[in-house]
Chain A
């Protein structure tokens, strides 16, 4: 009985701690979103130059890796799916399978994972180092809110740029798939395009882009929060970065599942196709 009570207490305290952390993270994200929006009008919250720097860092510099990865993913999908599909029916159907899976799930999720690894990890490490180096506290003592000054431009840039990067990823994957389908499996180009048009709806694309905006919020909030809560030495920065990426990956996949269910509900009521 005593063991059961102790176990329940331990589980309860873990759940309590996790929910408290979730609450603090959500509040942090809310502040960041509010500052990002207010910063559009009030130039004092964060300098415009910082926003441009973040857009360059999160977006422009991530574009080549997104295109390359998207291209490879599209080619791999077609290369692995076409022979199997050919055994059961016309292999042109691969165009539809690849189109739908890339636009609805693979594109947004893989782009978000690459973004978390490249940009999110950078956010945690950068802000964590600033926290350890007393830079965050220095901003506070100057009467400057560090969430507004440091997190808001990153938040703004990520929410704008990850959907753009996802579009690049999707496009590269579709082109990659098309090239392998046409040149390796001899699918006529017009057939490949026809099947793509038949299977892929605009809502697949728009919902994928919407998902990527949600992922951008999750990545920025988790990674910046982890950076802001680093305490102690520089070693803790590494630990926080690792934790941020793990939380991001699990959150992205879980959110993707929830949004997939949500999409199915929308499809049931003919809101999407």
Chain B
């Protein structure tokens, strides 16, 4: 079963180890514009090690942009991101590649290489960045796959497995080099509630058992309350909430309340065309004829 294997995994050549004792990630005055639109406006926060952070907010609020900047895939217009003390936004190619070995990323689409089997996908970063023997790599791959409950699917190709299995395989690849940080881009997207629960449990277990820092981009409220040690909510390019899930639940901010409750009315602008279409079709405040509720 996923997350039940407790093995002291070998760490190849100290890959993924953190050097500094300070915050794992420090985001300072990050700003990003696309044309006239300010997506991130002077964002600053710090993430400590061994905790699960959830970054949430409505669609288009800049969550994915923030993630891309934290992994060094996109440059900000202003500000910087310090990853274990290294400014990843201005680092040269070699420094950035070294920094990248300290984190793994689980992509929304899992992003497994379709030409490789699940086991080959997990083995890829180990083979590329270590001098380990093939037999040792195979052992490590098996351990990682067992850790996410995918031991039986090692020889399958990505197109032969379900969405939930792809996510778990992607997670096994993300932790292949024992990173200090794992970024999850909408890990629950497109999964059924049971599989969402499995992934949530994996995130919690990996964080506690391997001592990694997890940064989860999501807007799935049940997941947020299940896994988060701290939540950060973005809206309009700014951080509008930062705190524990308890504080999130009890927040009096209209923005936060609307987002948690999923109200179509409130300070968060729902797409106007949709609201107008809904009103034209069903009238204001009335359920459609024959509608269940």
Contacts and interface: CB of A to CB of B under 8 A. Distances in A.
Interface of A: 44, 130, 133-135, 137-144
B125 A142 contact: yes
Contacts of B124: 142, 144
Nearest to B68: A137
A141 B105 contact: yes
Given A141-B73, A141-B100, A134 B128 contact: no
A89 to B, nearest CB: 57
Contacts of B125: 142-144
Contacts of A133: 109, 111, 114
Given A143-B97, A143-B100, A143-B101, A138 B128 contact: no
B107 A144 contact: no
A104 B226 CA distance: 70
A135 B113 contact: yes
Contact of A138 (B97, B107, B127, B129): B107
Given A142-B124, A143-B101, 17 more contacts: A44-B127, A130-B114, A134-B111, A135-B114, A137-B111, A138-B105, A138-B111, A138-B112, A141-B71, A141-B73, A141-B103, A141-B104, A141-B105, A142-B100, A142-B125, A143-B129, A144-B128
13 contacts: A130-B113, A133-B111, A135-B113, A138-B107, A138-B112, A138-B113, A139-B113, A141-B73, A141-B100, A141-B103, A143-B101, A143-B128, A144-B125
A134 B167 CA distance: 13
Contacts of B104: 141
Contacts, number: 47
Given A137-B73, A142-B100, A44 B128 contact: yes
Contacts of B73: 137, 140-141
A146 to B, nearest CB: 11
Contact of B128 (A135, A140, A142): A142
A142 B114 CA distance: 16
A137 B100 contact: no
Contacts of B173: 142
Contacts of B100: 140-143
A237 to B, nearest CB: 14
A130 B111 CA distance: 8
Contacts of A142: 100, 124-125, 128, 173
A46 to B, nearest CB: 10
Interface of B is mostly: mixed
Contacts of B71: 141
B244 interface: no
Interface of B: 71, 73, 97-98, 100-101, 103-105, 107-109, 111-114, 124-125, 127-129, 173
A168 B97 CA distance: 44
A141 B114 CA distance: 17
A127 B87 CA distance: 30
Contacts of A141: 71, 73, 100, 103-105
A22 to B, nearest CB: 24
Nearest to B96: A143
A134 B97 contact: no
Nearest to A144: B128
A149 to B, nearest CB: 8
A130 B127 CA distance: 21
Contacts of B105: 138, 141
B123 to A, nearest CB: 11
Contacts of A139: 113
A112 to B, nearest CB: 26
Contacts of A44: 127-128
A152 to B, nearest CB: 14
A137 B107 contact: yes
Contacts of A130: 113-114
The CB with the most chain B CB atoms within 10 A, among A44, A139, A142, A144, is that of: A142
A142 B101 CA distance: 7
A144 B96 CA distance: 12
A236 to B, nearest CB: 16
A44 B130 CA distance: 10
Given A142-B100, A142-B124, A143-B97, A134 B129 contact: no
Contacts of A138: 105, 107, 111-113
Contacts of B111: 133-135, 137-138
The CB with the most chain A CB atoms within 10 A, among B73, B128, B173, is that of: B128
Contacts of A140: 73, 100
Contacts of B108: 134
Contacts of B109: 133-134
A138 B125 CA distance: 10
Contacts of B101: 143
Nearest to A134: B111
B154 to A, nearest CB: 18
Contacts of B129: 143
Nearest to B106: A138
B141 to A, nearest CB: 14
The 4 closest A-B pairs by CB, nearest first: A138-B111, A134-B111, A143-B97, A142-B125
Contacts of A134: 107-109, 111
A268 to B, nearest CB: 47
Contacts of B128: 44, 142-144
